[in-house]
Structures are given as C-alpha cells and as structure tokens.
Amino acid sequence: MDEDSALSEISRFFYGLYDSSICYFQYEGAVKEDGRGQTIWDTFAHTFDYDAGKVPDFSNADVAVDQYHRYIEDIQLMKNMGMDAYRFSIAWSRIFPNGTGEINQAGVDHYDNLINALLANGIEPYVTIYHWDLPQALEDRYLGWLDPQIIKDFAAYAETCFQKFGDRVKHWITFNEPHTMVIQGYDVGLQAPSRCSIIGHIVCKDGNSATEPYIVGHHVLLSHATVTDIYRKKYKPRQRGSLGVAFDVFWYEPATNSTKDIAATQRAKDFHLGWFIEPLLFGDYPSIMRSRVGSRLPRFSEAESALLKGTLDFVGVNHYTTWYAWDNSTNIIHVLFNDSLADSGAITLPFRDGKAIGDRANSIWLYIVPHGIRSLMNYIKEEYGNPPVIITENGMDDANNPFISLKDALKDEKRIKYHNDYLSNLLASIKEDGCNVQGYFVWSLMDNWEWGAGFSSRFGLYFVDYNDKLKRYAKDSVSWFKNFLASN
C-alpha cells in the first residue's frame, strides 16, 4: 500500500474523532486575572531552590501561550486543520479560587465562552476536570490529596462543572495521568507539590515516598468513583455524557527472555497501569501490589470497592514511548529510594547493552517505538476485556533551540513520521487485532509550557514564537494532519 492510500485508510478509521489535546494550565496564562486562585503549580514554578527539583529554565506558566485571551484565534487554527474535537482542562482555581466556597462567575463565564466557541465551529469539547493544578488553598488547609477531605471537595467542584457545562459537554475525563501525578509529586518530588523522602530527603524537604504515593492514589480513585456515582445518578439521564480517566501508560518489554525479567515486566505494568485501572474495573488493586506493598497500601471497604467497580465508560490512554524491564536482583534501589519503584522489583530503562530501544525525541524519557502502541492496545484488550479506548495523548517533542531559524524550526519531518508510524500501528490493532479503539488525540496543538521542562520542550503542531508576541506558525506537521483529515 502506498503512503497516500495508507493515510486515507487510517483517516477513515479515525474519522469522527481525531484532534488535539491540551492542559489549560500549560496554555492558559492569565493567572491573576478574573478571580483565579493560586495553584500548587504556581507555587512550584515560582520557587527557586534546586533541592526541590524546580523548573530548570526558571520559567513559569503566568502567561504560558496566552490562550485565555487568544482562544478565538486558536479555535480558528483548529477549524482550519479540520479538527472535530478538542481536549482541554478546566482550572479548579478559576471555578473555586479557594478550592471550595463561593463560585467565581468570571471563571464560569470564560469556560462557557470557550465551549460555545468550540461548538459554534463544529468542534466537540472533551473536558478534563483535573490536570494536576490543585488550588493552593487546599494544599495549605489540609495537604490536599493526602487528606480524605479532598474527596468531598473534588466532588463538589466536579459537580459544579456538570451543572454549569454538562448541557454541552458530553465527554468528561475526571483525572489526567494519576500515575504521573503520584510518582512525580509524592514519590520522587520532581513536580508539584514536590514531596518525597528518597535519598534521605535530599531532593524534598517533606514527604514519605514509601506511603504518600499510595495514599494520594487511593484518594484519587475514590474521588473518581464518587464523582462517577454523582454523575450517573443526577446528570447522565438528561445530559447523556460519558466519564473516563486518562491513564499515562508506558509499554514495557522484557529486556531478556529470562523468567525473572518476564515476571518483572508484568510487575512494571501492574505498578503503572494496573495500579489505577484495576480498582476502577474490578474493585481492587492488582494482587501483586497487595503482596509486595503490604500494609502501606490502603484497603477499600466493601462499599468502596462496589463504588469503584465499573466506573469507566471509556479508557483514556496517554502513550508516548516503550521501555525495557529487568528484574531487580539487588537491594540498592530499596536502600536509596524505598518507594513504589523499589516495591515493584522492576528496573525499567529505554536502553540495553548500550543501545537505545529506538530513536530519541528531545525529552530524555521519550524514545520512538511505534509498535509499542499496538502491543499496548492488545494488552488492554486481553487483560481488561477490550473496553472502549481513546488515545487521549500521543506525540513527540523537539528541543527549543534558540539558534535554529524559524524556517528550519517549522520543518518537523520527525514528528510527521512519528504520527504516521504510531497511527499505522494503531490501525493494525483495530483492523487486524480487533482492539476497541475509538479515537485519537495529538499532544499537542501548539508548543506550550511543559511542566517541569518549562519552555525547553516543543510538542506542538504549531510553533509558538516566545520571543515575538507568542505568534503561532504552522509546522509542516499541520499540513500533514490537514491532508490526513481531508483524505476521508
């Protein structure tokens, strides 16, 4: 099959849902406008002590790419590409500046306007309720996700979203990347709120890497289940929407054919995807987590287990890369880290015998392994009963190179090849393997503030000129995707 025919075939399978995904904290800016409250990420990005792993380029998201003011312009970019859906997040601190209490009408008005503008241009909103940006007030009040009070406060916030926007929003994602959230925020401390105890509190001042990730994950799961119960009982009958979670999922392959490494690879999967998906499908954590973590892993009551089970209308998958896994035959990791990585008993890396698993993008963790997405789709099909899957993020980044010309920066052939190859494998998982994949979102519409990487990493289809009024320029991948969408 020639390239044009393959492109057309892929497009036909994904016609009706093929688009771009963003987190509004990374795009929005306007952090002190219209009553928005401070978040833990505002605090993190404005703290300049390297012992807590803050943003290396000293940047912050105070302006980001200013989509708060430019959303009309950006929606036109989406429309010009032929997009029919847009995934974005709502900022909790714009709705409730203090996390709870009085609703900030200016925040509601902004998202009303954004949603209405998307729909007016034939673009379906897919809304993420929580993408890591906890109101700082709740962190100050009771340490946020570490306290069970967060379940009630999150439920009140989510229900407000259903009340205000659910007449038009039919696709909800309660949480984005819960695994990343607990590992980076509470295990290794490299993201907000930067809590950990690895290597004797050298990295973080506060936290306990052996217990806090599991506590936070437990509260996230119960929050999702509580919100789903509220939605299904009070809003779904008339709003007719669906709820899911966007799970961050690496694919892992055994580094050798040894029995130990094969078992370690399964443990790596269970401690990554299984940790969060299995309670929502089956009502409890993977059995290997129960046996290896022991009493540090919280238990669900019978009522909680029943509340959790079956609460995914669809499975969101944020997938970028594939790594190898080995059995951890030493005790060094336990001594240094004493965390969930040590608990898994698996060592995961993107190279073996000095050779990388694939070509590297800019990010040190992102290696390009297109067949990994097909393997992952088959794993979800076989392990979890072939649930509806939406690829909620997939993409690769280039470096923010200050020495490259604008003309050359727009030539992103590597990105085009990445998406072509990943989509081809995704198509094969559907046509040849029978995987229940229902949609695909690119990360990301445009270059943006990439959390701990700041502005050093460019994932966008559109280039943003940070030195010239944040002007947007189409990279070559925009033309490729426009042809892709038009080829149906």
* Cα radius of gyration (the chain): 21
d(CA 276, CA 248): 10
Residue 351 φ then ψ, to 5°:
-150, 160
Cα dihedral 316/362/193/197 (nearest 10): 110
Q: How far is CA 260 from CA 98, 312, 327, in A?
A: 49, 33, 6
Residue 11 φ then ψ, to 5°:
-60, -40
Catalytic residue among 28, 139, 212, 393: 393
Active site residue 177: yes
Q: Which amino acid is at 115?
A: I
- Residue identified by tokens 């503008």 is 117
Catalytic residue among 139, 177, 253, 304: 177
* Ramachandran quadrant class, 75 (left: phi over 0; alpha: psi -120 to 50; beta: rest): alpha
Whether omega for the bond prior to residue 444 falls within 30 degrees of 0, making it cis, is yes
Contact 412, 462 (CB under 8 A): no
d(CA 429, CA 322): 16
d(CA 381, CA 374): 11
DSSP secondary structure, 446-475, as one string: B----GGGTTSEE--SEEEETTTTTEEEE-
d(CA 307, CA 290): 20
d(CA 347, CA 368): 20
Count Cβ atoms below 10 Å from residue 56 Cβ, excluding itself.
11
Q: How far is CA 429 from CA 15, 257, 312, 387, in A?
A: 16, 24, 21, 14
Catalytic sites, residue numbers: 177, 393
